Amino acid sequence: MDTLQTLNLVQILADRLLARGWQMATAESCTGGLIAAACTELAGSSAWFDRGFVTYSNQAKTDQLGVDAALIAAHGAVSEAVARAMAEGALRQARVQLAVAVTGIAGPSGGSPDKPVGTVWLAWAVAGMPTRAVCALFEGDRAHIRAQTCDAALNGLIQAL
């Protein structure tokens, strides 16, 4: 992870959230809390960062975010439908104005021909707006895939504002 780049993204995000008086939440699977950690690295983040959900297991996605188990069974945890449901669940559960969700395969194992290692679905939910989701295919080892996911999530949050 390019720490300076990540911190710059967090500062931009913080400034935009503070300007609107908004708060945000994260729903993370493959990053295991890296996005929340990057956000809370910035002093004063409690003014705009509400909480992070680390929902690594399918059961956690259901229990903490309200993702329908049938949706996970039908599409798989690494899917557009689940990423959207995670982001919307975080928005709803935290009662914030902005949320991001990530679910993917960081490797080195777990990939398949349809969903190779590095496949990550990201989704951004903004109160009162349609949820946006994108699929990315990141390269590198586990640490690089997770770092790229974190930065992509932060960039998407900034774009959402």
Q: Is 13 exposed, middle or buried (0-12, 13-18, 19+ CB in 10 A)?
A: buried
pLDDT bucket at 26, cuts 50 / 70 / 90: very high
**Chain position carrying tokens 């500062």:** 11
Give the model's pLDDT for residue 76.
97
Mean pLDDT of the chain: 97
The model's pLDDT over 98-154, given as tens digits with 9 standing for 90+, comes to 999 999 999 999 999 999 999 999 999 999 999 999 999 999 999 999 999 999 999
pLDDT at site 3: 81
Report percent pLDDT > 90 for the chain: 96
Which sign, positive or negative, has the C-alpha torsion 61, 67, 69, 72?
negative
- Determine the average pLDDT of the residues in 33-37: 98
Global pTM reads 0.96
Q: Which domains does the chain have, with CATH numbers?
A: 3-160 (3.90.950.20)
CA triple 7-120-153, angle to 5 deg: 25
Res 2: pLDDT: 63
